[in-house]
Structure 1
Amino acid sequence: MSDQPESTVATESSDVTATPQVGAVEDKDDVVLRVDDLQKSFGGLTATDHATFEVERGTITGLIGPNGAGKSTLFNLISGFYEPDGGTVTVNGTDVTGMEPYKVAEHGLIRTFQTPRKLEGMTVREAMLIGPRNQPGESFLTLFTSPGTVAESESANLAEAERILEEFEIDHLATQPATDISGGQMKLVELARAMLAEPEVLLLDEPVAGVNPTLAKKLKSQIRRLHEQGTTFVLIEHDMEFVMDLADPIIVLDQGHVLTEGTPDGVRSDDRVIEAYLGGGA
């Protein structure tokens, strides 16, 4: 990215690793998601401490930090599952702060969860059909006044679900009960279902946690493919090899605030990041 600071600088005498800046990189060219001064406390515990950062359209942005750094809380605030104590969340220039999750999703911000919920009594195909936004069949009035519109929409969604399942190479699971597939397969299904919502930005919460190496490799390949097609990602992941290989930039969270932002190499060599991880960040 043109406005991304370099993680290393060359001096006249030798190459010296520079210390990345404090906090996040701001004033990016094409911001799809902006988090500004976001705050959240639970009792006496500050979980999100004036967090501010921007996500540029077309990037895979990694969000890392030690256990307890506030990563999941931040995702819950951004996606509407928690209401912030202060600050704002903006998607494509629209303030979505405090909106219900389905309203945030209507503005193009979709998320997955660390532990996908397996839907009882549904096949994988049926679970996929929950994904599309603004389905006319969700309105009782439309069901009665315009059944043809509902049928046409459902037919189109079914065809799109079949196409995406095939793209993800999991179409063979379509008729399987959603409760019978493995956790790794369910994460693939959840990612595929998220794409049915045509997200502007997709938040992935630990996409390969508990996933075997073969499925983790497949998930990485699918994220790359979707990114090349234009999807913007923000991902939390404890597997450093996975996130460092996929994401650029990397935003580092520590004790609820943004410690720094930089390239994977710059973040790896930042003494403050190393200290935050070794210190176990509260």
Structure 2
Amino acid sequence: MMFLWNGRLVQENEIQVSYLDRGYYFGDGIYEVFRIYNGRLFEEQAHLSRLFKSLREIRITLPWSESELSGMLNSLADTFGEKDGILYLQITRGAAKRSHLFPASAEPVMLGYCEEVARPVEQLKQGITAITLDDERWNKCHIKSLNLLANTLARQEAEDAGAQEAILIRDGRVTECTASNVMIVKKGVILTHPNGPLILDGITKQVVERLAKQSGIPYRTTGFTLEELMEADEVFVTSTTKEVMPVTMINGIKVCSGIPGVITQLLQQGFEQKIGLSAVPKATELLG
């Protein structure tokens, strides 16, 4: 297994992370998770754009351009083979004496690796369950930072409740989940929280928006309330590893009939067509 370490492909025993790395004691860094299908990076440019946006937000400058980094990531993916998985990339501000102020001389530390992750095929067919929790995260969720303790605690609370995800509520409005964006369908219209500091602009969320427009399904970034969530005709979450995942039960209550909805299935099939798994049906074939 090869790793991308500060611009070079190396073996694991060549990686040395300093105890002074600011990612270790401040969470001072960002990360990105690229999906790999059949050995190829999916939506690579969208992930790279978000990565560099996060870097600018926390004022880390890399010594490589987007195109140079792209070449490194594809070289790493080539060592992975024709498999399905993820490429995890993490960048911290670097190692320096502990101080809240940005160090003048620290150099960014970059680590990337690939890992096999299968598509959650059965869950995509049957759906998952979720609970709702207060959104206790910070106000810069659009940055894909290493500070994920609030997400971790919420995800563990969901697990303890026998659910696979937690849907977060802030000031009476649904924002997103611990590791995914959330959307509802009501009377044939997809609703989701608008982009901004309270949510991460998910790459799969972007794909779903394009698929909805291609299929003629109304898509509105107007947000919705907890009450609207519980009364939705369909609920689904999107993420790099969950794809377009139906939610069939929330807080122990079935979402509508308790099975994945028609529009969710249409988006799933469009997504599978995009990753080369099937032909996408016409909207009229499913919507009648």
TM range (shorter): under 0.3
Q: TM-score normalised to the size of structure 1?
A: 0.26
Greater strand share, structure number: 2
Greater helix share, structure number: 1
> Whose RCO is larger (CA < 8 A, sep 6+)?
1
